[in-house]
Amino acid sequence: MKVSNFLVALAFLALASSFAIAYDPSPLQDFCVATDDASSGVLKAGDVFVFPFGLIHFQLNVGKNPAVAIAALNSQNPGVVTTANTVFGASPSINPDVLTRAFHLDKDLVTKLQRQEWMNPSDLNSYS
């Protein structure tokens, strides 16, 4: 019975999250939420990070050497996360230089998008 409970819990975790493993030092690991709370940190070689379900996240190499990261993603419905609201409407805001590189946009356009009023992604769930 205990083994079956463990397998069910493991399967749920696999469906409800994604993770990344750093093999070379210094990738910046960050995720943002639609509240005033954000988390970030620099991973060291061998670190493992599990992302909470449904949060937009990114990795950026802040080191001087090339970095290697292995990421595994899993979701039953990956189209549910509203990227624009979560990324450009994040509070605190994501550094415009990061968004400029990630989306290959002009910095002025990124700044304009960040100034725009965005609907809270949690409000969108009430319409479905």
Strand arrangement, sheet containing 48-51: 48-51, 18-22, 69-72
User: Would you say the pTM of this structure is higher than 0.75?
Assistant: no
Q: Which two tokens stand for residue 32?
A: 């943002």
| Longest distance between any two alpha carbons in the chain, whole Å | 58
104 is in an annotated binding site: no
The 10s digit of each residue's pLDDT in 73-104 is 555 555 555 667 778 887 788 889 888 888 88
Strand arrangement, sheet containing 56-61: 39-42, 27-32, 56-61
Q: Is the pLDDT of residue 4 over 70?
A: no
Computed over every residue of the chain, the mean pLDDT equals: 65
Domains (range + CATH), the chain = 2-127 (2.60.120)
**To which H or E segment does residue 14 belong?**
helix 2-16
Report d(CA 98, CA 114) in Å as an integer.
13
